[in-house]
Amino acid sequence: MTANVSISSVSDLSGRRIYIEDVYPSVDGGRFAVKRIAGESVEVWADIFRDGHSVLAADLLWRADTADKWARAPMRLHNNDRWTASFTPPSPGRYAYAIEAWTDTFGTWRHDFLAKRDARQDITLETQEGRQLLAGLKPRSKADAFIISEALRESEAGNDAAPLLSEELLAAARVQHSDRTCSDVFPLYADRPLARASAWYEMMPRSQGRIPGKHGTFDDCIARLPEISALGFDVLYFTPIHPIGHTNRKGRNNSLGAKPGDPGSPYAIGSETGGHEAIHPELGTLEDFRRLVASCAEHGLELALDFAIQCSPDHPWLKAHPEWFKRRPDGSIQYAENPPKKYEDIVNPDFFGPDKEGLWAALRDVVLFWLSQGVRIFRVDNPHTKPFEFWEWLIREVQSVDPNVIFLAEAFTRPKVMKALAKLGFTQSYTYFTWRTGKEELQAYLSEITRYPEREYFRPNFFTNTPDILPVHLQTGDPWTFKARVALAATLSGNYGIYNGFELIEHEPIPGKEEYLNSEKYELKVRDWNKEGNIKNYIGHLNWLRQSNPALLQTSNLRFAAVDNPDVIGFVKESVTGDNAIAVAIALTRAGARELWFHFGDIEIGPPGARGRVTAVENLITGERRTVEWGGVRLRIEADQDPVLLFRCIA
C-alpha cells in the first residue's frame, strides 16, 4: 500500500536563496525591545549566507520610530558567515533596526577574477565581463557613478584590469541585486544614562519633620536635600504623597483600629480632598511640590514618585466612576488581599470592567499629570497584580510624550513574571537580591540576570531594604552586615537603593516577621539623622567611588573571580568602553581576619584591540599597588574594619 503523500511543485517553493539568522541582540525574536543607552554604539550581529560561492553584501538599517527613512551602515563579514555593524541612537526613544542582504555581483566578479589571476589563468574574457557588469549597474549616488565611470574609462583606455580592482570601486559598485532579502524588524529602546546607573534614597516625606508628632512637609524634605545629595544619591524616591482615606484606616503596626491622630497608610490613596492627582494637605501645596522638584534639580537629584494603583474607599473615583470597581453580591467592594496579608483600607479598580478605556485613560493621565509637574521617574507598586497589556500600553503612551521617563517595577514575584514586566517596558526592576546572602546563590543569581538575553532587557535595581521588608540578615543590627550589604548592592548593580533608616542601622522587627516594628507606614517618625553609630560616611564614600569608576555604573559586564574563601565573594567589573576595570572582594559575614587568594583566571580587560590579562591592582582607598603573580593576589580583610576591598585593575 502506498501512503498518501502531498507533492509540491517547484513553483510552490519560496525561491529564497539568502538566509539571515540568529540576529543579535534581540528579545524573543523581536517581540520585545532591546534596551540600550542613547548616545552609545549598538553592535548588531547576524548569520548571513546563501547557496553557492557568490559574494554577499549586507546593510544594517535603523531609524527612530518617528522617522520616515532608514539610515544605513554597511555590514562586514567577521568570520564563519557572521556579519556585524553598529549604529548609535542619538537621543532617548524608540528605534527599530533590520538587516538587508543581497548578492554582490561585482564583488563576486572581483573575487573570482583575483582567484583566476593568482592562479595565472587567462583573464581576458573576465576583464571584459567586469566592464560589462559595471556598465550595467545603477549607482546609488552621483559620487558612486563618477567612480564607476572613471574606472571604466581608465580600464578601457589602457586595456587594463587594474582600475577595476580598487577598494574604492568595490564600495561604489556595491549595488543591491534583485535577490535582496530583508530580516524581520527588531525594536530597541534607548534610555538616558540614569536608567543604567542610579543610586536611590527612599523616604516617607511625612517623617522628615523635626518635631515629634508633627506631620512633615515638603519644606522639611527640602531641608534634607543637601545631606542626601552629599551622600552621593541621585534619585530621591517618595512613597505616595496623596490624601489618605479615613474608612478602615490602619493604626500603628498595621492594627485595624486607628486612634485619633494616626495618619494611616500612605498607600490608602484618596479622600474628600482628592485622589491620585492631589497632594496630602499636610505636606503642602502643588506650588510647594514644584519648588521641591526645582530644589532637587539644584542639588543634583531627581524626584521619583510612587505610582500605586489602589484606592481608599473614600477615593473620589468610587463616587464619580462606580463602574470602575467590581461589586460583590451584597453591593460591597472586596478590599485588597495578598494572603495572608490583608489591606482593609484599600480597594482595587477593575481593569476589565465596562469602562476599561475610561479607567486606563484616567490612570495614564495621572502619570502625565505628574510628568507635567517635572517628575520623570516613577516607581510602580505591585505591577505584577495588574494586566500585562495595560503596562505595555501605558508605558508606550507615556514615553511617546517624553522618552526620558523611567519606570521601576516593584514586583517581588515569580522570576518569569518579573522578567515579563521588564520585557513589556519597565526600565528597571526590583530583584531577589534583598534575600540573597550566600556566595553561591549571589553568583548564581547575578549570572542569571546578566546572561543573554536577560541582560538585553532586565535592568536590576538592588534595594537593601524597603518599608515592607526588613530582611532577617539585617535584624541583628550588626554594622558590618549593613556595610557588606550596601557594598554588595552598590558594586554588583549599576542601580541600587536604600530605604531611609538603613544608614542609622535601624533593625527592630516585628517578632518572627520581616517587617519593621513601629513602621512609619502607620505612624509619624522623627529621627536624629546624625545618630551615633550611623554609616552615612561609609555610604557616601561608596557612592563617590561609584561615580569615580564607570565600571561600577553598569551591571552586565561582570565576571566572578575565584576566591579561596567560602564567605568572600570576588568579581571584576569593566566599563562599557573598557578603559576602567575594578576588582571587588566582599566578606559576606563577620568571621575574624581573613587572608584570601583572589585569582583572576582568564579574565582580560581593556578597550577593543588592546585587551590583556590583569598584571597589577591598585587599592582605591590606600593607593597601594600590588603585582599580580601566578594569576592572582593575596589579600587580607580585617575583622573590625571594612568588609570590602576595591582595586583598580591594570593590564
Is the Cβ–Cβ distance between 579 and 641 less than 8 Å? no
pLDDT at 4: 53
pLDDT of residue 43: 97
**Predicted pLDDT of residue 15:** 62
- Burial class from Cβ neighbours inside 10 Å (0-12, 13-18, 19+) for residue 229 reads middle
Q: What is the pLDDT of residues 341-387, one digit of tens each?
A: 789 999 999 999 999 999 999 999 999 999 999 999 999 999 999 99
- Residue 403 CB neighbours (<10 A): 19
pLDDT computed for residue 1 by the predictor: 44
Q: Annotated catalytic residue: which of 59, 410, 456, 574?
A: 410
Angle ∠(422,424,429) on CA atoms, nearest 5: 20
Q: What is the pLDDT of residues 447-468, one digit of tens each?
A: 999 999 999 999 999 999 999 9
- Residue 534 exposed, middle or buried by CB count within 10 Å (0-12, 13-18, 19+): middle
User: Which residue among the candidates 144, 306, 381, 520 is catalytic per the annotation?
Assistant: 381
pLDDT < 70 stretches in the chain: 1-15
Known catalytic membership, residue 381: yes
Annotated catalytic residue 520: no
Task: Give the position of cell 502607620.
Answer: 522
Q: Which regions of 348-410 does DSSP assign to beta strands (E)?
A: 377-381, 406-410
CA distance 243 to 284: 11
* Torsion angles phi and psi, residue 457, rounded to 5: -140, -20
Query: Any idea what DSSP says for residue 508?
Result: P
Spacing of C-alpha 593 from chain mean position? 37
* DSSP-derived secondary structure letter, 259: P
Report in angstroms the alpha-carbon separations of 321 from 242, 280, 318, 487: 19, 22, 6, 48
For the CA atoms of 502, 473, 408, 333, the dihedral, rounded to the nearest 10 degrees, stands at -100
Give the C-alpha distances (Å, rounded to integers) separating 242 from 265, 281, 285: 11, 8, 11
How far apart, in whole angstroms, are the C-alpha atoms of residue 172 and residue 55?
Answer: 15
How far apart (Å, rounded) are the C-alpha atoms in residues 259 and 267?
A: 18
In the chain, % of residues over pLDDT 70: 98
